[in-house]
Amino acid sequence: SLFRLKDLELAKLGDSDVHVKMLAAPINPADINMIQGTYPILSPLPAVGGNEGVGEVLEVGRCVAALKPGDRVIPASTGLGTWRTQGVFPEETLLKVPGDIPVLSAATLSVNPCTAYRMLTDFQSLAPGDSVIQNAANSGVGQAVIQIAKAFGIKTINVVRDRPDLPKLVERLVALGADHVVTEEMLRKPEMKDLFKSIPKPRLALNCVGGKSTTEMLRHLQPKGTMVTYGGMAKQPVMVPVSAFIFRDVRLRGFWMTQWKKDHAQDQESLASMMDALCQLIRRGQLTAPACTEVPLQDYKAALEASMKPFTSSKQILLL
């Protein structure tokens, strides 16, 4: 086991530091990958796990101007180590979030909804009525894509793996605003032609699976459409028929939220306007936290195990 629950001394509060009481932090696939060492970011060990979460400011150093006790904060970048009850962090590693955002929404805000928002806005200029296709549609990002697209008036075609409780999952995604939910197998069936009688073929495909799933999604992309890969859960390469490149001029791009944040470190405006837009959607009830299971910190082992099970449709959230 790579994990232990440990009591650590709290660092002394420096002039530019913020003492935070953590409230809730999710377990995401990337958190596990980081710990397994299969992620591009390696934390010097021993390290505290967790890249996402929400906390409350208890105390600030004397040079801290933007935050005050009682403020809610989330991590500004990857690698903060959110699976802890309290921490002392440099001010620039934290972002203030409005206090009226539900705790679970704030705890799951900095990675998945941001990823969904950027992928929907940065690669194709989509207009209301356009459509998007995505695989792993019940993932944290997938659920955010469905809801944000719906708010923008964009139709979604959502691909999921076949499973025992498929009707239940379809119902849940449709309730979130999914226009169509199809299984991987259905992607190559003639019925897909009927589906495209009512909505246009997608100009954007979002891929976090790889392998066959990707090739099947690409078939339905419009000429000059873009496929953005942001994960590879099948651990297989992205396979593209040569004809898709030559005759349909499809574009293949990649996206990594951590890199986006690095690239925009000097551009606080773009980060602020995205956070603003997402918080507005949350307030209006158009963007909810993913389906969550709340777990007290001492039960972290069960939570980690549950987060690695196949077909999990619920995100494990550590309550701190």
C-alpha to C-alpha distances, 153 to 150, 157, 205, 226, 290, nearest whole angstrom: 5, 13, 16, 19, 20
The CB density around residue 274, as the number of other CB atoms within 10 Å, is 17
pLDDT at 276: 95
Q: What type of residue sits at position 227?
A: M
- Position 30 pLDDT exceeds 70: yes
Which pLDDT value is given to residue 254? 97
Model confidence at 313: pLDDT above 70: no
The active-site residue out of 39, 117, 230, 300 is 39
Backbone angles phi, psi at 28, to 5 degrees: -105, 155
The set of residues, in sequence order, having a beta carbon less than 8 Å from that of 307 and lying 6+ positions away, is 27, 29, 32, 315, 316
pLDDT of residue 312: 66
In eight-state DSSP terms, residue 217 is H
Report, as an integer, the average pLDDT of 153-182.
Answer: 95
Q: Which pLDDT value is given to residue 170?
A: 96
- Cα distances from 77 to residues 57, 109, 110, 166, 320, in angstroms, run 17, 12, 8, 35, 20
- What average pLDDT score do residues 41-64 get? 88
pLDDT given at position 234: 83
Give the per-residue pLDDT at 178.
98
Domains of the chain and CATH, by start = 17-109+290-319 (3.90.180.10), 112-257 (3.40.50.720)
Q: What angle in degrees, to the nearest 10, is found between the helix axes of 112-122 and 268-283? A: 110
DSSP conformation letters of 56-114: EEEEE-TT--S--TT-EEEESSTT----SSEEEEEGGGEEEE-TTS-HHHHHTSTTHHH
| Average pLDDT for 245-270 | 92
Is a pLDDT exceeding 90 seen at residue 284?
yes
Report the share of the chain in percent with pLDDT over 90.
69
Instruction: Write the pLDDT tens digit of every residue in 69-124.
Output: 999 999 988 888 999 999 999 999 999 999 999 999 999 999 999 999 999 999 99
- Structure tokens belonging to residue 54: 């929400």
Provide the pLDDT for residue 16.
95
Q: Specify the pLDDT at position 305.
A: 86
pLDDT value of position 311: 66
- Give the alpha-carbon dihedral of 50, 54, 57, 63, to 10 degrees: 70
pLDDT at 203 over 70: yes
Task: Please confirm whether the linkage preceding 190 is cis (ω < 30° from 0).
Answer: no
Indicate the pLDDT class of residue 3, thresholds 50, 70 and 90.
confident
Is 39 catalytic? The answer is yes
Looking at residue 203, what DSSP letter applies?
Answer: S
With beta carbons less than 8 A apart as the criterion, state whether 150 and 286 touch: yes
| pLDDT tier at 1, thresholds 50, 70, 90 | low
Query: What is the average pLDDT value for the chain, to the nearest integer?
Result: 91
Dihedral sign computed on CA atoms, order 123, 50, 211, 178: negative
Q: With beta carbons less than 8 A apart as the criterion, state whether 120 and 152 touch.
A: yes
